[in-house]
Structure 1
Amino acid sequence: MAARNWNPWLRLLALPNESRAKTVLVAFLVSAVCAALVSGATVALRPIQTANRAAEEQARIAALVEGIPGMATLLEQSGGALSTVVINLRNGRAAADVTPATLDAALSDPGNWTALDAGQDLAGLGQRPDYAQVFLLRDGDSVSLVLLPLSGQGYGGRMDAILALRGDMNTIAGIAVTQHSETPGLGARIEETSWQASFPGTELRDDGGEMRFRVARGPASGVHEVDGITGATRTGRGVTQMVRFWLGPDGYGPLLDAIDRGEF
């Protein structure tokens, strides 16, 4: 009598092709190998995807900065280098243990988000990340320009933008809307350069420190207003609330105060 083969792989191969056990095992092995390959590809491609996202963000920032009157000259005079830092929004300081490279991982932790109550949630976010990446231009020891990512709810859904502030932390240097879901021909005009051109020079607060910024219902009538968009009142209100939230105490307010005091 032939000796029994105890090699499980050879025993599997010896089974007839119509064997149910062989079919199930082969299907399982193929699925396992495919899953391993997909997981490996995901891990291998993650740095490339991260780099692509970073490149896209830098391109949007470069376009915003280039569109600010006089900014190209200022960048050239200062060496043209924007620095980046992750801010702990709870205290307005540089994060001690989160970097731009680890920011996505940090924000995947629900513990690094703060729930907002109805009185706080001007931008309609529901919750706010505890960390945000900002971009700074320095003139000697002082900050001459800061670029701040914003997000909020418009009429059609979420809006994302980057707002640039001058060194006084009160005067808008420019804005770039990077994502939105607003109605074409109406609210979608927030992405048009002609509308965004009304932002530079707008002041956020009055002399008493009260937040006064808003999108007007029509043409701007004061230094704290930008032009409204006809037929897109709710979009304009969303932009107003987005800016007011992020430049307020629950957003970048502590950071702006620290910069204004020369402590950053």
Structure 2
Amino acid sequence: MSETKKKETFGRTVGFVFIICLVCAALVSTSAVVLKPLQTANKLLDKQTKILETAGLLELAGDDIVGLYTQRVEAKMISLETGKVVEGDVNSFEERADARDPAKSFKPENDIASLNRVAKNAVVYLVKDEQGKVTTIVLPIVGSGLWDLMYGFVGLESDLNTVKSVIYSDLKETPGLGAEVLNPNWKALWPGKKMFDKQNNIAIQIVKGGAKAGDVHGVDALSGATLTSNGVETTLHFWLGEEGYGPFITNYRAGGLN
């Protein structure tokens, strides 16, 4: 083969590869644009599903998650500092995204949940009965487990003390150990527990070896998963405290949102 033909063959090959790369890049970009609304909708649906589950309404929803959520749940964006309602898009808000922005976050003085930074705002969910009365308040929580951050929701009755449920999702804990936070048997230990004592101090505890009968503040620790169990406890203590939902709880109990 002549030198000229070799150059022509090489040039055509490079040109062909370049065209293929452009086409693939265009397809990937187009797919990302086209699929983004669907991904956003699915993410919102997953959040709505978890909130209804936390409020004990998931079975009632059946196939109409969005319908029941729209009918029964009112989302409010609040300032963690004041506990009062502020303006914001409650559907697109992501605590960790805001936490990465120094202008929208703060560094907690008592970072027992190992978050490094926390968003200044949060979204709380007021779940109502058919008569429009608030029966459950769902609070999003996040804190460190063994391997990574664990995300979940705490459902409290309208006294903002009695537990309705604690639901975790989006976690990377060890199957059979830390991942047992997803086990229905462990989740069934939470309803009726009290987060605060009579002096309004945070009293909920994850008890290694098992909580004693009648202990309204104790929940059995996860067997073989000490760090995950500790993570659940410190996460709850942080988010129920003054740098978390504490001001909101005080404000709500005083009728600040009514």
Same fold (TM over 0.5): yes
Query: For the residues of structure 2 that align with 1:105 and 1:220, how far apart are their CA atoms?
Result: 32
Structure 2, gaps ≥5 residues long: 1-6, 59-69
For residue 205 of structure 1, the aligned residue among 196, 205, 220 is: 196
Any idea what SS the aligned residue of 1:45 has?
Answer: helix
Determine the structure 2 residue equivalent to 1:158: 149
Tell me the percent identity. 31
**CA distance in structure 1 between the partners assigned to 2:132 and 2:176 by the alignment:** 44
Match of 1:45, as an amino acid?
L
Output one character per residue of 1:13-58: Cα deviation in whole Å (capped at 9) or x when no partner. Answer: xxx95585x8767765664554344333322221110100111122
Contact 2:96-2:118 at 8 Å conserved across structures: no
Contact 1:107–1:131 (8 Å) recurs in 2:
no
1:60 matched residue in structure 2:
50
The question of 1:241 aligning with 2:220 is answered no
Secondary structure, counterpart of 2:76 in structure 1: strand
Question: In structure 1, which of residues 35, 49, 71 is the aligned counterpart of residue 25 of structure 2?
Answer: 35
Q: What secondary structure does 1:100 align onto?
A: coil
Aligned-residue Cα RMSD (Å) equals: 3.1
Are positions 1:257 and 2:245 aligned together? no
- Give the equivalent residue in structure 2 for 1:148: 139
1:218-250 CA deviation, whole Å, 9 max, x = no partner?
A: 222322111222322222111100101111111
Instruction: Give the Cα separation in 1 of the matches to 2:128 and 2:144.
Output: 32
Counterpart of 2:216 in structure 1 is 223
Question: Cα distance, 1:67 vs. partner?
Answer: 6.9
* Matched residue, 1:193: 184
Q: Indicate conservation of the 8 Å contact 1:217/1:227, yes or no.
A: yes
Q: C-alpha separation between the residues in 2 aligned to 1:82 and 1:241?
A: 28
* Displacement after TM superposition at 1:167 (Å): 0.6
Supply the AA of the counterpart residue of 2:107. L
Contact 2:54 2:138 survives alignment (8 Å): no
Contact 1:187–1:229, Cα closer than 8 Å, also in 2: yes
Q: 1:123 aligns with which of 113, 116, 139?
A: 113
Q: Relative to structure 1, is the Cα distance of residues 51 and 255 closer, same or farther in structure 2, using a 3 angstrom cutoff?
A: same
Q: Write the mapping of 1:72-151 to structure 2, written as runs, cut at 5 A.
A: 81-96=72-87, 98-104=88-94, 107=97, 110-117=101-108, 119-138=109-128, 143-151=134-142
* AA aligned opposite 2:51: I
Q: 2:35 aligns with which of 35, 45, 57?
A: 45
What is the total number of aligned residue pairs between the two structures? Answer: 238
Q: After TM superposition, give the deviation of residue 196 of structure 1 in Å.
A: 1.3
Measured in 1, the distance between the counterparts of 2:103 and 2:34 equals: 26
Is the partner of 1:163 in helix, strand or coil? strand
Amino acid at match of 2:45: A
Q: Distance in 2 between matches of 1:146 and 1:30?
A: 53
Q: Match of 1:146, SS?
A: strand
Counterpart contact for 1:100–1:133, Cα < 8 Å: yes
Letter in 1 for 2:79: N
* TM-score in terms of structure 1 length: 0.77
Structure number with greater Rg is 1
Give distance in 1, aligned partners of 2:81 and 2:13.
57
Are residues 1:179 and 2:170 paired? yes
Is the Cα–Cα contact under 8 Å of residues 171 and 201 in structure 1 kept in the other structure? Answer: yes
